[in-house]
Amino acid sequence: MKDIKVLIVDDSAIVRKIFTEELSGERGIQIVGTAPDPYVARDKIVRLKPDVVTLDIEMPRMDGITFLKKLMKYYPLPVIIVSSLTRNGGKLALEAIESGAVEVLSKPGTEYSVGDMKQQLADKIRAAARARVSQREKETPLEEAPVELTTRALKETTNKVIAIGASTGGTEALKKVLTRLPATIPGVLVVQHMPPNFTTAFAERLNNICNITVKEAEDGDSVLPGRALIAPGNYHMLLRRSGARYYVSVKTGPMVCHQRPSVNVLFNSSAQYAGANAIGVIMTGMGSDGAQGMLEMRQAGARTIGQDEASCVVYGMPKEAAKIGAVEKVAPLDRIAQEVVNLL
C-alpha cells in the first residue's frame, strides 16, 4: 500500500516541527508539507494533494472552522481537528465535526509535549485515510420523526438497557440514531471515542435536539427510561446493577483496545449485569473495540445490531464484530433506531 500523504496546518512552528519529526517515523505515513494558516494550506492542498489534513481551530487570518467549511464544499478530503480542547474549544471542535471533520484530537497542555500523542494521532490519520468524505453544501435539518413505541408493555418496561459504541464518524451517526429514539425508550448508554471536554459539548448539543434527555455520565448515575448517558472523555463507563436498579460506574483505568472510554468495557459490563435484557449496537469506527464485548453480550442472550458497510464512515468496528459472529442483525444507519425498537 502507498503511504498516506499528510499536510499539517497549525500556526505554531513548534507544533509543526514536532508533528513532522514524530510522524515521519510512523509506518505508512508521509508528511508532505506544513502550513501556518489556511491561506498557505489552500495552495499546498492543491499542489501536494494530501490524503489527510490535520487542522488547528484557532489560527490567524482565518479560523480553522471557516477554512474547513470552504474545504468541504470545494475540495472535500479527510480532516482531523487537532486543537486545545478547553470547554469552549470542545464546542468549536463539535462544530468542526458537524462541518465535515472526521476526527478530533486534543492537544496536550504544552506545545513541547505534543510528541506524547504521536501514536494516537498516527492511528487517527490511518482511520481518516479510509474514511468516506462527501461534499458538503449546507447543513440539512432533521426531517425524520421519532420511531413510535406501539405497545403499552414496552412503555412500562424499566429493565432493558441499550448500549451503543462508535468511533470515527460516530458523532454524526449517533445524532441520527438518538434523535429518532422516542422519549419512552429504555435507558441508553453511549461510548463514543473522543477526548475530554468534547463529550460535555456533545451531550449538551444532543440534549437540545433529542426527544430523550442526554447528559455526560457521572459516577453513580441511574440508567432511566428516556435518558442517554454519554461516557466522559478519558473515562471508562460500566453498567452496574443494585437490585432492580441499573446505574453506571465512571472510572479511570488502563486503555482497552487503545481507547478510554472503551466500547468493550461498556459491552462486557452490559453482558454481565443486563444479559438478555440488553441490546448492543456497534457503529462506524476504525479498529476492533467493541467486537469481543458484543460477542459476550450475544452469548449472554442480548440482541445485537451492527451498522452496515455502505453507511459507515469507516467500516472497521462493525466489520470486526461481524467477523466473530457478534452481530445478529446488520442495518443501515437510517434504520438502526427502528431496529432497536423492533428488537425491544
Report the mean per-residue pLDDT for the chain. 89
Which of the pair, 330 or 120, is modelled with greater confidence?
A: 330
Residue range 4-129 in CATH 3.40.50.2300? yes
193 is catalytic: yes
Which of the pair, 200 or 262, is modelled with greater confidence?
A: 262
**Region 76-93 average pLDDT:** 80
- Residues paired with 259 in a beta bridge: 256
**Region 74-84 average pLDDT:** 90
Which of the pair, 201 or 138, is modelled with greater confidence?
A: 201
Which listed residue (10, 56, 289, 311) is catalytic?
289
> Coil, helix or strand for 220?
coil
- pLDDT for position 152: 45
- pLDDT for position 140: 44
Beta pairing class for 245-251 and 278-282: unpaired
Q: Give yes or no for residue 174 having a pLDDT over 80.
A: yes
pLDDT digits (tens, 9 = 90+) for 123-158: 899 989 989 887 554 444 444 566 665 544 444 445
* Whole-angstrom distance, CA of residue 312 vs CA of residue 131: 8
Among residues 195, 143, 213, 193, the alpha carbon closest in space to that of 203 is found at 213
Core vs surface per residue 234-254: b (16+ CB within 10 A) or e: ebbbbbebeeeebbbbbeeee
pTM for the whole structure: 0.88
- pLDDT for position 105: 86
- pLDDT for position 112: 52
Range ranked top by mean pLDDT from 52-61, 87-96, 130-139, 153-162: 52-61
Q: Give yes or no for residue 85 having a pLDDT over 90.
A: no
> Coil, helix or strand for 143?
coil
- pLDDT for position 93: 81
The ranges of the chain annotated as CATH 3.40.50.180 are 152-343
Core vs surface per residue 195-222: b (16+ CB within 10 A) or e: bebbbbbbbbbbbeebbbebebbeeebe
**Region 308-328 average pLDDT:** 96
pLDDT digits (tens, 9 = 90+) for 98-113: 899 998 888 776 555 6
Q: Give percent above pLDDT 90 in the chain.
A: 70
> Which residues are CB-contacts of 64 (< 8 A; sequence separation ≥ 6)?
9, 38, 55, 56, 57, 58, 81, 83, 96
> Which residues are CB-contacts of 172 (< 8 A; sequence separation ≥ 6)?
97, 98, 313
Q: What are the distances in angstroms from CA 261 to CA 165, 194, 307?
A: 10, 8, 20
Supply the CATH classification number for the domain 152-343: 3.40.50.180
Q: Give yes or no for residue 36 having a pLDDT over 80.
A: yes
- pLDDT for position 11: 92
CB 181 within 8 A of CB 189: no
- pLDDT for position 114: 65
- pLDDT for position 154: 42
Which listed residue (37, 51, 123, 193) is catalytic?
193
- pLDDT for position 216: 97
Q: Give yes or no for residue 81 having a pLDDT over 70.
A: yes
Lowest mean pLDDT among 114-118, 152-156, 297-301, 309-313: 152-156
- pLDDT for position 110: 53
334 is catalytic: no
Q: Give yes or no for residue 331 having a pLDDT over 60.
A: yes
Residue with cell 487570518: 61
Which listed residue (83, 167, 270, 288) is catalytic?
167
Residue with cell 445485537: 304
The ranges of the chain annotated as CATH 3.40.50.2300 are 4-129
Among residues 16, 17, 1, the alpha carbon closest in space to that of 54 is found at 16
Q: Give yes or no for residue 206 having a pLDDT over 60.
A: yes
289 is catalytic: yes
